[in-house]
Amino acid sequence: MIPRTRKVVAAHSSSPHNLCLLGSSGREPGSTLSLRRHAGICFILIFLLLAAFVGGLAASPTSPAADWVVVVPVANMYSSATENADVVSQAILGSGVVVLEKRHKWAKVRTNDQYTGWMPLRDLRKSSAPYGATGHMVQVESLFANLYGETDVTQHQPVMTVPFETQLEAIDDAPGNNGRWLEVRLPDGRMAWIQRSDTVRDPKPLTIEQSIELAKRFLGLPYLWGGGSSYGYDCSGFTQMLVRSRGVIMPRDADLQAAWQGMEVIERKDLREGDLLFFGSGPDKITHTAMYIGNGEIIHATTHGHPMIQISRLDDEPWTRILVACRRVK
């Protein structure tokens, strides 16, 4: 079992009240001018702090628009600007990202779950509008789907193979559209064809029972550290996808998921289908997560035994011994 956590550093600033008190002990008693001078200094300091606070809000993760789009089936996000670094997460074709910084052939990006990492610029394209803003989107429902340059699987190799959840802009009035094929526009502007049965229009949030059935479709898929697609998931990437299928975006890493305010703390005895379980050496050292599917069973992406998505018994070792938290999505 490999830990799937990420360090978070909290920053705090000095109180404006303490700043106002600095130097006030030297004020001459009864000096109106000195009082006014110090009051003026306090006002300026408070104004500057408020300006910085407002500026911080303007630069908050939710403010900038996602002005870049992923143009490869699955783009790795690295911990630093080199492919020799570890993969911390992934983003799939058509995903919008915010570019925070550029360094040579690399971009530091933030995804819609507020996760950051470095991507090669070759995997991205600048976008003046969100991908698909002018068309109708379909979502890949199969675990994988081949895209072709024509409505024939025998003529050429696929243009690309995209993972589950990929969203594509459909060209509804394309001449070749029929019961089997659908023409799509890719994020880089190229056109391609996908078999309609691989897609779904206007996907609706799943119920808990439906999300459990979805989870079972991935049984046997190899474990992949940093994985966030059907090319391979890690433990928290898998649970994040399952909760996302229910219409909820939660944090990326297991420890952040357990601490997330969108979770309700529950006891083991109160577990219900769809609840999330967190494992580790202690509540502050969470290294693994899984989803409870009822009848004492969990489904998870794990390296324990066979490195793949599998079903385990919660009462079995090591899971019963290292269970440290139970959560329910509010």
DSSP annotation string for 185-241: E-TTS-EEEEEGGGEEESPPPPPHHHHHHHHHTTTTPBB-TT-EETTEE-HHHHHHH
Cα–Cα dist 7/201, whole Å: 38
Cα–Cα dist 151/158, whole Å: 11
The tokens of 325 are what?
A: 């938290």
Cα–Cα dist 124/115, whole Å: 17
Integer CA distances (angstroms), 149 to 129, 160, 172, 190, in order: 25, 10, 17, 9
Residue with tokens 């360090």: 7
Q: Provide the CATH topology of domain 136-201.
A: SH3 type barrels. (2.30.30)
H or E, element range at 314: none
Chosen CATH of 208-329 out of 3.40.50.300, 3.30.450.20, 3.40.366.30, 3.90.1720.10: 3.90.1720.10
Cα–Cα dist 318/251, whole Å: 25
Whole-number pLDDT of residue 47: 47
Residues in the chain predicted with pLDDT less than 50, given as ranges, are 6-62
CB 255 within 8 A of CB 289: no
Asked if 68-126 and 136-201 have one fold, the answer is yes
Domain boundaries, the chain: 16-58, 68-126, 136-201, 208-329
C-alpha neighbours within 13 Å on the C-beta side of residue 38: 16
Whole-number pLDDT of residue 183: 95
Alpha helices, DSSP H only, in 2-98?
16-21, 32-58
Cα–Cα dist 131/175, whole Å: 22
Question: Which pTM was predicted?
Answer: 0.81
> For the segment 96-140, what is each residue's pLDDT rounded down to a tens digit?
999 999 999 999 999 999 999 999 999 999 988 889 887 899 999
Cα–Cα dist 174/192, whole Å: 11
Residue 33 CA, distance from chain mean position: 56
Position 313: which residue type? R
As its CATH architecture, domain 68-126 has: Roll (2.30)
Whole-number pLDDT of residue 54: 40
Residue 201 CA, distance from chain mean position: 22
Whole-number pLDDT of residue 66: 81
Whole-number pLDDT of residue 276: 98
Position 226: which residue type? G
The tokens of 261 are what?
A: 């305010």
Whole-number pLDDT of residue 5: 54
CA-wise closest residue to 94 among 69, 64, 128, 116: 69
Whole-number pLDDT of residue 179: 82
How many C-beta atoms surround the C-beta of residue 136 within 10 A? 12
